Structure 1
Amino acid sequence: MMSITQVFKIFILTALSCYVILVEARGNSPVLTFADHGHVNPFTGGVAWETSNHPDVMSMEWAFIGLSDVLPLCSGGFDWTSVEDFLSAVDARGHQGILRPVIFGPGYGQENFAPSDLLVNAFVYDSSTYDNPAWNEASVQACILKFIDAFAVRYKGDQRVAYVQMGLAGLWGEHHLDGANYTAVNFPTKTFQKTMIEHFIDGFGHTPSDIQTSLSLDSAQDHGFFSSADTSLDNLRFGFFDDSLLTNNHGGINNWRQDLAPAMQLALHKQHGWGGEAYWSGCNSNGSWTTPPNDCGNGESLGDQAQRIGLNYMLGSPAFDNNNITAATLLTASQLIGYKFTATSVTRHDLSHVKVTVENTGAAFSPYKIEVCTNEGCSGDLSTLKPGDSVVLTVPATASSTQTLFFTSPRLNPSSTQKIRWSNVSADDEAATLTVDVSMSDLIFEDGFD
């Protein structure tokens, strides 16, 4: 509590249109320490294909968007019903969706999703034949760009969407053909790959307030655009997606991921927060990625791998559907992935602001703008905060000695049941708030005149 002398001094200085400089004298605020909460932060954690299992310990669900389901004819109009149905169901469970458009994908639904007037070539995979676009045809390229542009216009501002995968090229939109020849007939040229990437990024946006688009890391192999000498996309905002996480020797020096092109892209885009999928056999299919030590028997734990590559989320289905993963193990494994924010200090700055020191105690950058708020206003952009680093933010506040802090993000609907939570011992996990004491007795007053 301020003394009568201090109150009188403030009144006189204000009346004289002078200013008061408030200087921190003592740090009486309680010690703020890290603790995991019992939730999964938005944009992070284990991801399932559409499921109603364990809704309280997931933040996202995944859907492949069949091109022909949305665009039956390249020459015709769009039908977004399948996408809307998915996003509505996901939103009702308090989750967000990850969307990847595909043209063919063995094991997924009808498996072929080429519009009926799209020129295609037969592509044989695992003794089955699929419709692969004739990528060297101008009409095919026009159809693909028509879809990408309309997709972006439709969903650019949709807060039900967490991420968009660029998809479309190759098996399951994973940017590879599993050993087949990468000719101009059966795979987009590097020139057209670049055009597709630009349309996705330009369409969905370049800022931390826009939906992040991601591309398979296979695009940094020899057949992909990022193996070329063209560096014009290197400084753009987009993420990568590793379709086979936790594989044996994933971080080894002889693994292709450590070759020049993929290693360079990892370094350039780690700040954007990566995604991936647990490799299929013996890891994804049985859910063993959730079992400690969370390494699928291959030595590097999910936590260590997440920190090394900056991993925010990992597709790990269909174990969810088979109930092989319990809510408790899923939560524990998901806590190994993604950003986390811990307040380490909160002090009074002046009568209408507090200074909040925030550390990223997670494994990755936040992919999106996140601000620290009180009911008086917000400040900062935590998407730039590197894991292990701290930032001091000056946040609007009342003169009260008790302040309640919370987070907000333009990519999250304020009415959503999902909340960005403080990783602090004293946080209120359910309300997603942190209440702190910033007593006025922590300040002394110095005056100055113009």
Structure 2
Amino acid sequence: MQQRFSIFKTLLILGMGLIGSQCEDSTAQETATAWRTVNVSNTITRVAPWSGIVFWNDNDAVDTDAIQLEYSYVKYNDIVRDKGVYDWTMVETLLDQAASRGHQQILRFYFIYPGEPTTVPDYIKQLSHYKEITAKSEGNPTGFVDWSAPEVQQFALDFYSEFAARYDQDPRLAYLQTGFGLWAEYHIYDGPWKMGQTFPTKQFQTTFLNHLAKQFRDTPWMISIDAADTDYTPFDDQPELLRLNFGVFDDSFLCKPHAKENAKNWAFFGRDRWERGPGGGEFSYYNKKDQKLALSASGPNGRTFQDMASEFHLTFIIGNDQSRYQPMPRIAEAGMAIGYRMTISDCQTNGNDWRIKVTNSGIAPMYHDAFVAIGDRRSATSLKGLLPGKSAVCEIAKGGSKPDISIQSDRLVNGQTIPFEAK
């Protein structure tokens, strides 16, 4: 009997020890996985990629970190001369030049430019039934496309299929602008504006816009706000086109009649369009004052650039002449005030995993995917489309113990980083 009691006592002690050990392990595990707040401090000192003031590619001052974007017009017949033969050398040169400076390109292809022949490929111009018109525009002899020729229409569709297949995911390309008419701005304000002849029919425009929406999955594409003129465009007849996620550009931003004229065109496309597609454009050239005072303290026509940029949720603006009127720090300051602005408002870790809350403190969202990362481990949550004033909690598993925080994207070129602030 005494021997049995001794054995029972021994087993009881061992069991209690095992339970105690398990409790200690459980407590230690809970301590190891407890979430704690990590204080992070960071400031934004440079313009964010995909945003800001834009210089033309050939601006003498373009090699500067005061900008992140460059702009170029491109002729269709610089790419295609013979049917089905595409020579992308011009595009590659422009993209490589921008990338070598740590910038990205905005490209706009055009058919008509005042004072120049059309950029329709030679193989189409040589067709016997293709009849262009030459007429004055801005006082100069100008070629106008014969949109009655089915070959021109097919070329326009095929061109963007080929372009998208090659460049839709190219980090050197930020945005694509396109359209018809003078400068591809969706108008022929000075010259022969004839539907189905010098300007494509509404039916073809509908086909064209839907085609672009199918081809471009990653690169945002944009059309002019002047496409709001429904006498020449299909949006009244085909209102479903307004559901396409294109952005818009305004090439006379800050002009004196902006509130009466341009603003109505922005409103036509929806004052919330910026939530889906980028808003951009160019400072007005209506008079010298528009350019000279674009970034001045009071603005050229009674409203400051920052005030109007906030109202229209601009991501970028072409300001090629600003290098003549403003020092680079002012150009950078204006660029940092538009587009997105990412703020880390909370950061927590359990020693290995991370939860990081990011708030967009800017005036527009990102239009490319970007991800919060710890070291080389990214969150699965993209910041693309995060609206101003909204937040996202980004979780990163097995990021380690150090707060090596960055915002990463596959749409950056060498030398680019996405800035963020943390307080």
TM-score range, shorter chain: 0.7 to 0.9
User: In the aligned structure 2, how far is the partner of 1:284 from the partner of 1:156?
Assistant: 38
**Aligned partners of 1:9 and 1:411: how far apart in 2?**
49
Query: Residue in 2 aligned with 1:442?
Result: none
Question: Is 2:276 the counterpart of 1:276?
Answer: no
1:64 corresponds, among 73, 79, 84, to 73
Q: Which residue of 2 aligns with 1:146?
A: 158
CA contact under 8 A between 1:217 and 1:262: conserved in structure 2?
no
Q: How does 1:113-192 map to 2 (within 5 A)?
A: 113-116=119-122, 117-118=124-125, 119=130, 120-167=132-179, 169-178=180-189, 180=191, 181-192=193-204
Does structure 1 retain, via aligned residues, the 8 Å contact 2:295–2:304? no
8 Å contact 2:52–2:336 — kept in the other structure?
Answer: yes
Quick check: 110-119 or 120-129, which moved more?
110-119
Q: In structure 1, how many angstroms separate the alpha carbons of the residues matched to 2:25 and 2:233? A: 65
Which runs of 5 or more structure 2 residues have no equivalent in the other structure?
1-20
Kept after mapping to 1: 8 A contact 2:348/2:355: yes
SS in structure 1 of the partner of residue 325 of structure 2: coil
- Verify: 1:40 aligned to 2:47, yes or no: yes
Mapped partners of 1:8, 1:377: distance in 2 = 33
| Corresponding residue SS for 1:311 | coil
Residue 381 of structure 1: aligned partner: 382
Q: Is the 8 A contact 2:353 2:397 kept in 1?
A: yes
1:420-431 to 2 correspondences below 5 Å: 420-424=418-422
Residue deviations 1:391-419, cap 9 Å, x none?
2222234452x312101123224xx1011
Secondary structure class of the residue paired with 2:81: coil
Are 2:421 and 1:418 aligned?
no
1:256/1:42 Cα in 2 relative to 1: closer, same or farther (>3 Å)? Answer: closer
For the residues of structure 2 that align with 1:30 and 1:13, how far apart are their CA atoms?
26
- Aligned-pair CA distance for 1:187: 0.8
Q: Could you tell me which runs of 5 or more consecutive residues in structure 1 were left unpaired when the two chains were aligned.
A: 1-6, 426-450
Matched residue, 1:448: none
Identify the residue that residue 3 of structure 1 maps to in structure 2. Answer: none
CA distance in 2, matches of 1:346, 1:397: 15
* Number of equivalent positions: 393
2:10 paired residue number = none
Task: Tell me, yes or no, if the aligned pair for 2:50 and 2:68 is still in contact at 8 Å.
Answer: yes
What do the CA deviations read for 1:331-382 (whole angstroms, capped 9, x no partner)? 111122111101111123x453222121111111111111111125222221
Higher-Rg structure is 2
Contact 2:81 2:121 in 1 (8 A): yes
Q: RMSD over aligned Cα, in angstroms?
A: 2.9
Q: Is the 8 A contact 1:182 1:223 kept in 2?
A: no
In 2, Cα distance between the equivalents of 1:202 and 1:238?
11
Shift of 1:269: 4.1
Residue deviations 1:123-143 (CA, integer Å, cap 9, x gap): 421222212111122122112
Question: In terms of mean alpha carbon deviation, does 416-425 or 280-289 score higher?
Answer: 280-289
Check conservation: 2:67, 2:103, Cα contact below 8 A.
yes
The aligned residue for residue 431 of structure 1 is none
- State the partner residue of 2:331: 330
Q: Report the Cα offset of residue 12 of structure 1.
A: 4.2
The Cα shift of 1:114 comes to 2.6
Q: Which has the higher contact order (CA 8 A, sep 6+)?
A: 1
Post-superposition shift, 1:272?
2.3
Deviation at 1:13, TM superposition (A): 7.8
Q: Distance in 1 between matches of 2:363 and 2:212?
A: 27
CA–CA distance in 1 between the matches of 2:288 and 2:40?
41
The one-letter amino acid paired with 1:91 is A
Separation in structure 2 between the aligned mates of residue 128 and residue 419 of structure 1, nearest angstrom: 45
Change (3 A) 1:10 1:66: farther
Report SS of the residue matched to 2:72.
Answer: strand
Counterpart position of 2:7 = none
Helix, strand or coil at the partner of 1:289: coil
Pairing 1:30–2:42 present:
no
| 2:11 aligned residue | none
Match of 2:14 in 1: none
Opposite residue 301 of structure 1, the aligned amino acid is T
In structure 2, relative to structure 1, the CA distance for the partners of 1:424 and 1:216 (3 Å cut) is same
C-alpha displacement at 1:277, in angstroms?
A: 0.8
> Structure 1-normalised TM-score?
0.79
**Shift in alpha-carbon separation, 1:284–1:148, aligned structure 2, 3 A:** farther
